[in-house]
Amino acid sequence: MGYTPMIQQYLKIKSDYKDSFLFFRLGDFYEMFFEDAKKAAQELEITLTSRDGGTADRIPMCGVPYHSAENYIKTLIEKGYKVAICEQVEDPKVAKGVVKREVVQLITPGTVMEGKMLNDRENNYLAAIEKIGPSTFAFAYSDMTTGETFVMKITRGWQAVLSELFNRPIKEVIVEKELEEDYQRELIEKMQLTLSTPRHEKFPDNMQILIEDVRNRELHDICMTLYNYLFQTQKRSFEHLKKAQEIELEAYMTLDMYSKRNLEITASMMRKEKFGSLLWVIDRTVTAMGARKLKKWLERPLLTSTLIEARLDMVEGIYDQFMEREGLREALRSIYDLERLSGRVSFGNVNARDLIQLKKSLKNVPLIQQLLHHFDNKALNQLAEELDSLPQLTNLLEESIIEEPPLSITDGNILKDGFHATLDQYRDASRNGKDWIAELERKEKLATNIKSLKVGFNKVFGYYIEVTKANLHLIPEGRYERKQTLTNAERFITNDLKEKEKLILEAEEKSVELEYQLFLEIREKVKQYIPALQKLAERISEIDVLQCFATVSEENNYVRPTFTNTNSVKLVESRHPVVEKVMKEEAFVPNDIQLDEDKFMLLITGPNMSGKSTYMRQLALTIIMAQVGCFVPAKSAQLTIFDQIFTRIGAADDLVSGQSTFMVEMLEAKHAVQHATNNSLILLDEIGRGTSTYDGMAIAQAIIEHIHEYIHAKTLFSTHYHELTSLEEKLNGLRNIHVRAEEINEEVVFLHQIHQGAADESYGIHVAKLAGLPDSLINRANVILEQLEHNDSSMTHRSIDSEASDIEQMSFFVEEKPMKQKEKQAESELVNKLKKLNILEMTPMEAMNQLYQLQKQVKKG
């Protein structure tokens, strides 16, 4: 005995959606069967039941109510799953056999459109990746809710792809099955993304316009992959999709995933949330569109000075006029999310309340225009001219939809009286009928003298006259026809009542049906305005970010930066924007930062907890703020434009891939050394601490020397290796600075002040004391320190070069033992390998790796 026809239908549809939960519509429920049911019951914490499927064994089953399915779908999507919605596409009354069903939409983490599943202030991107060369990838990403799509070519290898994914709010990635398994594993485990495979079908002719601006063939193809996936999974057209926009990565500052994480630009390292990040400090936007735009600007700082200065000019214009700025902020508060409203109109899930939000937004645009004209800045005046309030669309919505419509668009009572003549006729018939019903109740009360008599309605019996049992004897014989008996009352009908009921219900049914059709027509008319709405949304979001920069600059006493061509940096009384905000009542200690052509490296020494990392981070954050067009936390700021920022700050072990702190240090240092230019900023904090002292010092010195001799990038390098301070004498571009601390009554006091020269003490034991370690332990540490300092006093201020020389000299006095044949052969192989190495073409990191491999070989021998 086989499965029932209905279960066979389910299995056939499920075979096309193996990687998704299939929500199979049965009446008022979405049902799931077999493994889907077991997994869904566990993930959604709902009851797992079973049903007869035509075989001896019962089939596992679980279900969720149709009317509340959205919350369950949201839970699954947030966990990275996909949900295929399978609806009945045939009227059960006319179906012959099993009702026809089809998947009408595939909801995935990257294709969510429902408001409850989205963060208003975040984009929700779907991406596509294809490898097109040994270290080159085509990369595209699209937000279906806003219609924007971006495409680019990444030439720096897989790590650069991961950085792009890390830097964007991407939830799902489309990749070919042939993509390396290691890459796919990283996407799932490290980046925690949902993977999908392309759907290779003919690209719709009417959608070719979306990729007409993409000239590169490979980028053209990746856009087609992305769009095709959208069309095939959502099974509808998208009038709101904008043309794919090609991004030239060279036009923006490069911020890799390490830098974004270490600098806490959009999320804190510890909690991975907005609080404690740069975004948390400077986000004073008042619209959802503005919040998303701000994040995009932070993720891609500008490299073109004219564009940066244009933003700064407008920010200054808003900054200088407080009253107008406050009026602008208040007006912007009345603007709803025009981008996502446009998406909902196109997608077909917009309701009447959404359109009322759209109308209210449009009605406030003229006020924003007026306020922008009140600023003295000509660029802001020009922005006002670019705003289109779309009066025709506003009039359409004003004339058609009532001010407080219901959520549902199928229950009527959406449109205003007078909008459509036929609808008015149906409404009059319905209202007159209801007036007749009210009059009937009044007459019957008088005729029967039953004050509690009432005329009611329900969907099962229609209209009825209800009389309590205590009053039944008052009804004249033959006046009513009994319809239903209740516990305490009887319900009756009359011929006139049933005739009037028919007229009322027909009028209401026709009214609701016509109103629904009229609403769909209005929605189609609104679709025609989508490009204009998107352009308006773009301008409004820009205005919001510019006022945000002005507002936060005024509130926090930021200053406009100036950019020079002298390749120098001079910050007077620079501050860390986040630390300053978190400290609140305590005064942040500002410091000067100066770098120029001659002295482009700062070697920073000083005790732990003194503020070395803060000092380094505040320079990077100041540069990012300036290059997105915001004022900066300083008394004055003279900057050059940086093309990249590389950081190694904090001991963040990569536990997922099993890499130690030291390996992460080396990988991040390698990334900086390989890609930095003389226009880059490099921040390296305590490089080498993850290994032995001499190894660490050797690596740290080699990295400093390599950057100094070959890259000439602006560099801040903090260290506890005081021996490295002697490099100031050998490297012309390096300058020693230290964070000042004082010892008062055997207690260390951190002054957080930067001074010239090297620190003379590390205060490590004092920090341990501050951390609350036991006194007995602290006392013992002091004794051991005195012994070490006494025994090693001859080594205290010697450079690594001299230490290496001593070790080399010592090896001459080791008595050689006769070598065996096997040892001679191993030595010969080692010598040959050394001869083949081209040291002059190696980076310090590559040389260290080769040295490590050779050392392992010697130890094994």
- Amino acid sitting at position 537: A
Cβ atoms within 10 Å of 591's Cβ, excluding its own: 23
Helices (H), 273-407: 278-282, 288-299, 305-319, 322-332, 338-347, 352-373, 378-385, 391-400
Helix (H) or strand (E) holding 13: helix 5-14
Query: Does 606 count as an annotated binding residue?
Result: yes
Produce one character per residue of 244-282: b if its CB has 16 or more CB atoms within 10 Å, e if not: bebbebeebbbbbbbbbbbbbbbbbeeeeebebbbbbbb
Euclidean distance between CA atoms 557 and 572, whole angstroms: 14
Euclidean distance between CA atoms 285 and 289, whole angstroms: 9
Query: Does 612 count as an annotated binding residue?
Result: yes
Euclidean distance between CA atoms 316 and 549, whole angstroms: 9
Residue 478 phi, psi dihedral angles, 5° rounding: 80, 0
- Amino acid sitting at position 81: Y
Residues 441/494, Cβ–Cβ less than 8 Å: no
Residues 118/125, Cβ–Cβ less than 8 Å: no
Query: Does 611 count as an annotated binding residue?
Result: yes
Produce one character per residue of 516-531: b if its CB has 16 or more CB atoms within 10 Å, e if not: bebbeebbeebbebbe
Report the helix count and the strand count for the chain, using DSSP H and E: 27, 27
Find tokens 């907005």 and name the residue.
274
Euclidean distance between CA atoms 116 and 843, whole angstroms: 51
Q: Is 519 helix (H, G, I), strand (E, B) or coil?
A: helix
Query: Does 625 count as an annotated binding residue?
Result: no
Q: How many residues does the chain have?
A: 861
Cβ atoms within 10 Å of 566's Cβ, excluding its own: 11
Euclidean distance between CA atoms 401 and 518, whole angstroms: 11
Residues 269/652, Cβ–Cβ less than 8 Å: yes
Residues 82/111, Cβ–Cβ less than 8 Å: no
54-to-25, 58, 122, 656 alpha-carbon distances in Å = 19, 8, 48, 46
Helix (H) or strand (E) holding 184: helix 181-185
252 bridge partner residues: 302
Cβ atoms within 10 Å of 121's Cβ, excluding its own: 18
- The residues near 711 (Cβ < 8 Å, ≥ 6 apart) are 673, 676, 677, 678, 680, 682
Helix (H) or strand (E) holding 742: strand 734-744
State the number of CA atoms in the 13 A half-sphere of 616 facing the CB: 32
Query: Does 613 count as an annotated binding residue?
Result: yes
Take residue 808 and report the two structure tokens written for it: 């080399």
Helices (H), 720-820: 764-770, 775-791, 800-810
Euclidean distance between CA atoms 338 and 837, whole angstroms: 61
Give the angle subtended at the CA of 554 by the CAs of 548 and 560, to the nearest 5°. 90
Q: Order the strands of the 83-88 sheet from edge to edge.
A: 49-51, 59-65, 29-33, 21-26, 83-88, 101-107
Cβ atoms within 10 Å of 378's Cβ, excluding its own: 11
Cβ atoms within 10 Å of 383's Cβ, excluding its own: 21
647 bridge partner residues: 683
First to last CA, the chain: 70
Residue positions forming the annotated binding site for ATP: 606-613
Residue positions forming the annotated binding site: 606-613
